[in-house]
Amino acid sequence: MTAPIRFPSLFRLLALAVAVIALSVSASAKEKAPPKPADQPDQLNEADVLGEAHIGTKFQFVKFTYDDKKEWENHEYVDGSKTLIIKGIDRSQDHSVVLSPRESGYEPVVLTLKASDFKRTVLKTKGRTQTITFRAFYRPEFKKVEAPKADAKPKEGAEPAPK
């Protein structure tokens, strides 16, 4: 006579084998890095990133010319309009900026934006997104224009002051 086959124990053994295989497949899938999408660009070339110049002054809405151009649209005023931010600066060469306050009695200041002044900065935005920028910070001092001094000599034909 043949021995009866025990189905419940064979079924348990088969279920255990399937569970072990499923766990090992899912663990190996987690270890692999996700494939890179085809439309995602390669690493960012930092030499192509444009720079920003942050120029802090004690005057509001300072007028400026950038490389002898009267108008430069890519700029903004912050901190009570006393800090001028010029954006979109090519960092591969030096640039000149002429600043003149709107208040009279001060001389214009010429700043030279050197390529070596721009420092790499990583900005964190919402979530885990990071943006790379290059910033340069300047704090120019405006010199007062000396008012013309009145002559102490009396004019010809004028009467001397009474004593």
pLDDT tens column, 71-115: 888 999 999 999 999 999 999 999 999 999 998 889 999 999 999
Average confidence score pLDDT of the chain:
80
Closest by alpha carbon to 55, among 113, 132, 126, 131? 113
Phi then psi for 55, rounded to 5 degrees? -115, 110
Q: What is the pTM of this model?
A: 0.61
Q: Within a 13 Å sphere around the CA of 34, how many CA atoms are in the beta-carbon half?
A: 3
Of 58-67, 111-120, 124-133, the one with minimum mean pLDDT is: 124-133
Is residue 163 pLDDT above 80, yes or no?
no
Model pLDDT for residues 18-49, shown as the tens digit of each residue = 888 887 777 666 665 555 554 544 566 777 88
